[in-house]
């Protein structure tokens, strides 16, 4: 996850406008293990900026996704979530508590290259997720 200073530097380098709203939306992500929905981000940001609209949240999230600073993820629950770790990596969603976890396994690092090589397809991106019960819910 980028610091506010790093984020500002990237936006400046890309000649993108740095607004307090954009910075606050990005700041709403507390770490790479969090996978909030747009509504959750909206509720968090509204605590700091009560007049901010939901449309501004969506526009800011889309802006960061287009710059590859965020990615959207689908973990099979019908809800679009946002991930502050833009590199491809698998996720696990607990079917009991709904929490989403990052998984980082070596086999996954070259999966798109392996698929492209075996099929001749051009792979732009991929998403992998696993469903089950997390350790905490198994207790």
Given a cut of 80, is residue 130 above it in pLDDT?
yes
* Residue 108 or residue 130, greater confidence: 130
Any known ligand binding at 125? Answer: no
Whole-prediction pTM: 0.84
CB atoms within 10 A of CB 23: 15
Give the CA angle between residues 61, 31, 12 to the nearest 5°.
50
Any known ligand binding at 126? Answer: yes
pLDDT in tens, 8-45: 999 999 999 889 999 999 999 987 788 999 999 999 99
* Residue 133 or residue 107, greater confidence: 133
Q: What is the 3-state secondary structure (H, E, C) of 94-115?
A: ECCCCCEEECCCHHHHHHHHHH
pLDDT of residue 2: 87
pLDDT of residue 50: 96
* pLDDT band, residue 88 (cuts 50/70/90): confident
pLDDT of residue 106: 65
pLDDT in tens, 50-86: 999 999 999 999 999 999 999 999 999 999 999 998 8
Any known ligand binding at 65? Answer: no
* Domains in the chain, CATH or no CATH each: 4-83 (1.10.10.10), 91-138 (3.30.1490.190)
Helix %, strand %, coil % for the chain, to 5?
Answer: 45, 15, 45
Any known ligand binding at 108? Answer: no
């Amino acid at each position: 996850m980028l610091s506010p200073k790093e984020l500002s530097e990237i936006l400046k380098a890309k000649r993108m406008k740095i607004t307090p709203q954009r910075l606050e939306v990005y700041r709403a992500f507390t770490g790479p293990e969090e996978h909030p929905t747009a509504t959750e981000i909206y509720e968090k940001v509204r605590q700091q900026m009560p007049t901010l609209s939901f449309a501004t949240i969506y526009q800011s999230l889309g802006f960061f996704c287009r710059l590859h600073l965020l990615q959207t993820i689908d973990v099979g629950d019908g809800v679009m979530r946002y991930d502050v770790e833009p590199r491809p990596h698998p996720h696990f969603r607990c079917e009991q508590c709904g929490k989403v976890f990052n998984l980082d396994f070596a086999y996954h690092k070259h999966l798109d290259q392996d698929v492209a090589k075996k099929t001749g397809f051009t792979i732009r991106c991929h998403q992998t997720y696993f469903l089950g019960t997390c350790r905490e819910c198994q207790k």
